[in-house]
Amino acid sequence: MTTLRFDLKTQITWPGLVDAARRFLAWWQERLWEVLPGPLRAHATAAFDGWTAHLDGRTMRLRAASADHDDLVLDYDAADDELRARVAQLAPACLRRRVDVVIPPDQGLLRSVHLPAAAQQRLRSVIELQLDRLSPFRAGDVRFDCRSVDAPSGGEIAVEIGIVPRQRLREIEQRLGRLGIAVRRFGFDGMPFSFAPVEPRRTSHEKLQYVLAGIAAAAFLCAVVLTPILRAAEIDGLAADVGRLRGPAHQAVSLQDELRRAQAPLNAAASVLARPGALDILRSLTEILPADVQLTDLKIDGAAIRLSGYGSNAARLATLLRGSGRFAHVHLSGPVGKAADGRERFEIEMAAPAPRMRGAVR
């Protein structure tokens, strides 16, 4: 179980908040790292493997954070091309990622001072003001780091300071740069000091990431800027197309109305002309009626037909007319009577079939 303690009497300052946040993130990272399964931790170590270059006299020892890689010991005085080839062959990860460089403490200066306990909140700013007194170099010509050694005692704190000339760091950076190695930070061997590089150098992977990030940012900016413009242009284009089609559409509707008005008389005339004439009806009756049928009356009024006369069987005659398919609504309209010669007297009403109209406009 983890216990968090808060001192409500501590003065809250911006550097203090930053330091507290940094320490909290470091603590949280350690806790997460502890709960990771072994295989996943191995994959994470391989993915974020950090390398360290130890410079000791005339040798350079490249060491990986993971125990899977053996240390690579190189002659630091060898030619640049030879060293670069060996690094590219045996430790190519050093060329893709930044490397921490560890140098002997004798490459710089170590100082110890006692300061008032109140200076702990702004320790780096206080030390920076005293650099001219603590080293023979000007403050602008050095890189420095400092740390509090112990808890405040007697109103004072003990502070250790590491100082390195910028020129020395620049020489190391330029030499490693010729080997294709980019420096992330410097440090003293066996001491927790950290110095920023003088001339930060980008690795090839970082340059590629920056290029890709720039392209992505440009594409996103273009999408944000051009989307409304393209959408407005598309809407304007559609509005122009609708405007051009509005005239032909109105003209088509007008032509359709005129065609309907012109088609109505034509349909009426065609309906009249398509009806069977009196001669056609007489021809049909002559072909259908039996020889023993005698008509006494035939009336044709448009499509309505009425006939009367004598025949051997009035019901069979009505069935015969109905089954011919040439007349519709065939029925006996009056009573069937007997004539003196024994034949039946009949009255039949029917209608000529209505014509089928073709080509009518709807």
pLDDT of residue 162: 92
pLDDT tops 80 at residue 30: no
pLDDT band at 165 (very low <50, low <70, confident <90, very high): very high
C-beta separation of 160 from 147 below 8 A: yes
Q: Give the per-residue pLDDT at 359.
A: 44
CATH of region 278-351, choose from 3.40.50.150, 3.40.50.720, 3.40.50.300, 3.30.1360.100: 3.30.1360.100
Distance CA 251, CA 240 (A): 18
Degrees, nearest 5: CA angle 217-219-225: 100
Flag whether pLDDT at 36 surpasses 60. yes
Give the strand pairing for 328-332 and 51-56: unpaired
Please name every residue paired with 345 in a beta bridge, in sequence order, or none if there are none. Answer: 310, 337
State the residue for tokens 């990030």: 213
* Residue 46 CB-half CA count within 13 A: 7
pLDDT value at position 67? 57
| Average pLDDT estimate for 88-107 | 86
C-alpha distance from residue 141 to each of 108, 122, 131, 135, 277 (Å):
12, 22, 10, 10, 124
For residue 307, what pLDDT is reported? 87
Question: Residue 54 in 3-state DSSP?
Answer: strand
Q: Which CATH number is 51-201's, of 3.30.930.10, 3.30.420.380, 1.20.140.160, 1.20.1250.20?
A: 3.30.420.380
Task: Taking residues 123-146, report their average pLDDT.
Answer: 89
> Looking at residue 182, what DSSP letter applies?
-
Section 68-89 average pLDDT: 84
Find the helix or strand (DSSP H, E) in which 345 lies: strand 344-351
pLDDT digits (tens, 9 = 90+) for 277-294: 778 888 888 888 888 888
Name the maximum alpha-carbon separation found in the chain: 161
Three-state DSSP at 112 gives strand
Asked if pLDDT for residue 201 goes beyond 70, the answer is no
- Please report, for the chain, the start and end positions of each structural domain, with discontinuous segments joined by +: 14-48, 51-201, 216-274, 278-351
- Cα 207 versus chain centre, distance: 26
- Token pair 């069987």: residue: 313
**Is residue 205's pLDDT more than 70?**
no
213-266: per-residue pLDDT in tens? 788 888 878 877 878 888 888 888 888 888 888 888 888 888 888 888 888 787
pTM for the whole structure: 0.47
Which of the residue ranges 86-95, 136-145, 351-360 has the most confident prediction, judged by mean pLDDT? 136-145
Higher pLDDT, 88 or 152: 88
